[in-house]
A and B are shown apart, each in its own frame.
Chain A
Amino acid sequence: MDKQEFSTHISEMLNRNLEDLFNHILEMGGMVERQLENALQALGSSDVDKAQEVISFDKAINHAEMEIDRLCAKVLARQQPTASDLRLILAAIRIAIDLERMGDEVVKLAKMVIIFGKHDGLKCSDIQGYAELVDISNRSSVMLKMTLDSFARVSTDSVGKVIREEEVIDDIFKKIEKDLKESLKTSPDQIECLMEMIIALRAAERVSDHARNIVESILYLVQGDDVRNLDESRLNDLLNSLESSKG
């Protein structure tokens, strides 16, 4: 969906609607990006107020998703688009859902900050797994930015990078989850905090999963290939082909 492509339709209305949709998704993406950044700041400084702000901002994101749904339904009903336009709409619906879920996961992160804020003298940074949480969240944040940039540029250049990054995050998460489960057995007095940390870690990890989903939607939008649920070898083939076409 290149910048010129919106002007190739005879129907002025369709052009405008598609462009509108495109911009709405990116605007919503920007909101989620911001929300994740704020949550990271709240996490870093144990700032309960900021965390509260993140939670209340989720409403705006939910609202944006509904708006995108409405736009998609409008275009489908009125103009019955085909080919790449249809793919844009299908991808838009999927991306909006993924973004909204991301927002929900970020809210979970913020909630952890608030729960720890209630315990006097207990900082998030003292709990085991905090370093991994920050690492995963930072990586997810960068991933989200890359993903949205590649949607804005309608390019598949950074798809490989995002998918590989997601696998790295999975590994980090699996390792720390195992460690935390061990700690649960050995120190039952900290059980509440450790559980909370596991939930937050999972939320951060889910953010990267959703970012990967979005990248897959972009791939579908640009190339028309459905790349969900590929097995290992075929995925590697795909990534290699993407990288070779880039070079």
Chain B
Amino acid sequence: MSKGISRELTWIVTGLWIALFFGWATGLWTITLLGYFLFYIARQLYSINRFEQWIKGSTNVPYPPSSGLWAELSYLVSRKQRSLEKHAALQFYKSEQFLAASMTIPDAIISLNEYNQIEWFNKSAKKIFKLKHSDTGRKIETLFRHPDFIQYLKSKHYGKGMILQSLNGMPRVFNLKLFPYFKEHKLLIVKDIHELYNLAQIRRDFVANASHELRTPLTVLNGYLEVMIDSIEPESTWQKPLEQMHQQSYRMQSIIDDLLTLSSMESETITGQQKEVNVPYILQEMQVDAEQMSHGKHLIEFDVDINLALKGFEEPLKSVFMNLISNAIRYTPENQSIKVRWFHDRKGAHFEVKDSGIGIAQEHLSRLTERFYRVDTARSRDTGGTGLGLAIVKHILERHQAKLVVTSQLGKGSVFRCDFPNKAVVLLKNIEND
């Protein structure tokens, strides 16, 4: 039996005994019982009233009723209240701790509610945006009024974030990004990427400058070597060394060319608009080049969808195709076949070069696109590779939101496939007119 009921029953029974005794003593049974009944109801009502006052927190009633069911009830209520308070204190402590942690983060963080009003912000946000504590509750766009930012805020597509070259008069590069979180709320995170930006810039400049500086001396060396080769006797002992020197200097030149391509690719010089690139036409031209490169030693087969064009950057795409084709020619033994395909399916457009060459072991596949990474050092130098070809390919494909997929089996050959997304595909109708 519940404690409350048993306490109440004890009270009723005790009261009844007293009433019975009183009735027996006086003989006024009806009045006594009626009195008992009325007293019981009055006491209940009084206790209910007190209990209500106490729960409301009235100052007139500092203690809850102390007998019967109501005593038990108030005991339970106050116990529950205490545990709730404890829980709330713990929650408060936790949230305080969390806020304190967010304060120490070096990036600026501002939390916005669904109306873009500031909820809280950390110390660096205060510094960068020059916010005051009274600014909580104000809309972010009234205090940070950069038109580009307002547009970004309204766009609802926060994806990549935005880069600002200066913020509140500070000429530093900042990366702003909004993250939707917790229902309709947003988190604005601002990173100072000035150092990073500068570093990348310096690295790019260095590569570009160094390659440029190396070019001139190489041209001179090359020129003299050619003259010397032409002018010596055919049976001279110098012929072989000179030829090798010439070959190596030529290789050095192509490395530098590749480095320059790569650095120009990275320094985002391709900021121009994407254009429609007539891939079938390019591949037609490339077929001739490929035949020349292999000197007719390979069976090169082109299978091109003539109606399939691509939206992108023409010159970079050419260098992707050329790199992959020349790789295949370089690593395929004589009289073996090379198959180049340009086709499209549900997923998008694909450029595929399939060779039956020496193949690549599994462990190398993931590192192929690293700069100067070589599977077989001795061999690839013989064939005149620069070690940068696939790095360039990867960069260009990233720019086209395309992917490079390589599958290979040792001894059987490899397949290099570029997957272009569907949105880049353009179908040509009047190819005959071109």
Report A's interface with B, CB cutoff 8 A. Answer: 3, 22-23, 26-27, 29-31, 33-34, 37, 141-142, 145, 148-149, 152-153
**Are A148 and B169 touching (Cβ within 8 A)?**
no
**Are B166 and A30 touching (Cβ within 8 A)?**
no
**Are B147 and A153 touching (Cβ within 8 A)?**
no
Task: Kindly state whether residue B203 has any CB partner on chain A within 8 Å.
Answer: no
CB under 8 Å from chain A, chain B span 124-161: 130, 132, 134-135, 137-139, 141-143, 145-148, 150
**Are B142 and A26 touching (Cβ within 8 A)?**
yes
**Are B134 and A30 touching (Cβ within 8 A)?**
no
Tell me whether A145 and B168 are in contact in the complex, defined as CB-CB below 8 angstroms, given that A3-B137, A23-B139 are known contacts: yes
Tally of contacts, chain A with chain B, CB under 8 A: 45
Q: Bound complex: CA of A4 vs CA of B138, how far in Å?
A: 10
Q: Bound complex: CA of A142 vs CA of B150, how far in Å?
A: 20
The chain A residue sitting closest to B168, CB to CB, is A145
Choose one: A26, A34, A37, A153; the contact of B141 (CB below 8 Å).
Answer: A26
The chain B residue sitting closest to A35, CB to CB, is B147
Q: A142: which B residues are within 8 A, CB to CB? A: 169
Q: A141: which B residues are within 8 A, CB to CB? A: 169
**Are B166 and A37 touching (Cβ within 8 A)?**
yes
Q: How close is A89's CB to chain B, nearest CB, in angstroms?
A: 17
Q: Bound complex: CA of A139 vs CA of B418, how far in Å?
A: 54
The chain B residue sitting closest to A22, CB to CB, is B142
Q: A31: which B residues are within 8 A, CB to CB? A: 145, 147
Q: B146: which A residues are within 8 A, CB to CB? A: 30, 33-34
Q: Bound complex: CA of A153 vs CA of B145, how far in Å?
A: 13
Q: Bound complex: CA of A31 vs CA of B148, how far in Å?
A: 9
- B165-196 vs A, Cβ < 8 Å mask (1 yes, 0 no): 01011000000000000000000000000000
Q: Bound complex: CA of A34 vs CA of B166, how far in Å?
A: 10
Q: Bound complex: CA of A34 vs CA of B137, how far in Å?
A: 25
Q: List 12 A-B contacts (CB under 8 A).
A: A3-B117, A26-B142, A27-B147, A30-B145, A33-B145, A33-B146, A37-B166, A145-B168, A148-B145, A152-B138, A153-B134, A153-B143
- B51-92 vs A, Cβ < 8 Å mask (1 yes, 0 no): 000000000000000000000000000000000000000000
Interface of A (DSSP majority class): helix
**Are A152 and B143 touching (Cβ within 8 A)?**
yes
Q: Bound complex: CA of A162 vs CA of B407, how far in Å?
A: 68
Give the one of A3, A22, A31, A37 with max B CB within 10 A. Answer: A3
How large, as a class, is the contact surface on chain B? 10 to 19
Report B's interface with A, CB cutoff 8 A. Answer: 117, 130, 132, 134-135, 137-139, 141-143, 145-148, 150, 166, 168-169
Tell me whether A153 and B132 are in contact in the complex, defined as CB-CB below 8 angstroms, given that A26-B141, A30-B147, A30-B150 are known contacts: yes
Choose one: B130, B150, B168; the contact of A27 (CB below 8 Å).
Answer: B150
Q: B148: which A residues are within 8 A, CB to CB? A: 34
Q: A37: which B residues are within 8 A, CB to CB? A: 166, 169
Q: Bound complex: CA of A209 vs CA of B142, how far in Å?
A: 22
The chain B residue sitting closest to A57, CB to CB, is B147
**Are B134 and A34 touching (Cβ within 8 A)?**
no
Q: How close is A117's CB to chain B, nearest CB, in angstroms?
A: 21
Q: B135: which A residues are within 8 A, CB to CB? A: 153
**Are B147 and A23 touching (Cβ within 8 A)?**
no
Q: How close is A36's CB to chain B, nearest CB, in angstroms?
A: 11
Q: A33: which B residues are within 8 A, CB to CB? A: 145-146
**Are B147 and A34 touching (Cβ within 8 A)?**
yes
Tell me whether A29 and B145 are in contact in the complex, defined as CB-CB below 8 angstroms, given that A3-B138, A153-B134, A153-B135 are known contacts: yes
Q: Bound complex: CA of A67 vs CA of B146, how far in Å?
A: 19
Report, nearest first, the 5 A-B pairs whose CB atoms are least far apart: A30-B145, A152-B142, A26-B142, A3-B137, A31-B147
Beyond A152-B143, A153-B132, 10 additional pairs, beta carbon < 8 A: A3-B117, A27-B141, A30-B146, A30-B147, A30-B150, A33-B146, A34-B145, A37-B169, A142-B169, A145-B168
Q: Bound complex: CA of A22 vs CA of B147, how far in Å?
A: 16
Q: How close is A217's CB to chain B, nearest CB, in angstroms?
A: 16
The chain B residue sitting closest to A29, CB to CB, is B145
**Are A23 and B141 touching (Cβ within 8 A)?**
yes
Q: B141: which A residues are within 8 A, CB to CB? A: 23, 26-27, 30
Give the one of B117, B134, B138, B147 with max A CB within 10 A. Answer: B147
Q: A30: which B residues are within 8 A, CB to CB? A: 141, 145-147, 150
**Are B138 and A153 touching (Cβ within 8 A)?**
yes
Q: Bound complex: CA of A115 vs CA of B345, how far in Å?
A: 55
Q: Bound complex: CA of A210 vs CA of B117, how far in Å?
A: 29
Q: How close is B115's CB to chain A, nearest CB, in angstroms?
A: 10
**Are B169 and A23 touching (Cβ within 8 A)?**
no
The chain A residue sitting closest to B132, CB to CB, is A153
Give the one of B139, B145, B168, B169 with max A CB within 10 A. Answer: B145
Q: B150: which A residues are within 8 A, CB to CB? A: 27, 30
The chain A residue sitting closest to B134, CB to CB, is A153
Q: B142: which A residues are within 8 A, CB to CB? A: 22-23, 26, 152
Q: Bound complex: CA of A27 vs CA of B146, how far in Å?
A: 8
Q: How close is B128's CB to chain A, nearest CB, in angstroms?
A: 14
Give the one of B117, B142, B148 with max A CB within 10 A. Answer: B142
Q: How close is B214's CB to chain A, nearest CB, in angstroms?
A: 31
The chain B residue sitting closest to A28, CB to CB, is B145
Q: A152: which B residues are within 8 A, CB to CB? A: 138, 142-143
Q: How close is A2's CB to chain B, nearest CB, in angstroms?
A: 9
Q: Bound complex: CA of A53 vs CA of B14, how far in Å?
A: 96
Q: B132: which A residues are within 8 A, CB to CB? A: 153
Q: A145: which B residues are within 8 A, CB to CB? A: 168-169
The chain A residue sitting closest to B115, CB to CB, is A19
Q: B139: which A residues are within 8 A, CB to CB? A: 23
Q: Bound complex: CA of A207 vs CA of B137, how far in Å?
A: 31
Q: How close is A20's CB to chain B, nearest CB, in angstroms?
A: 11
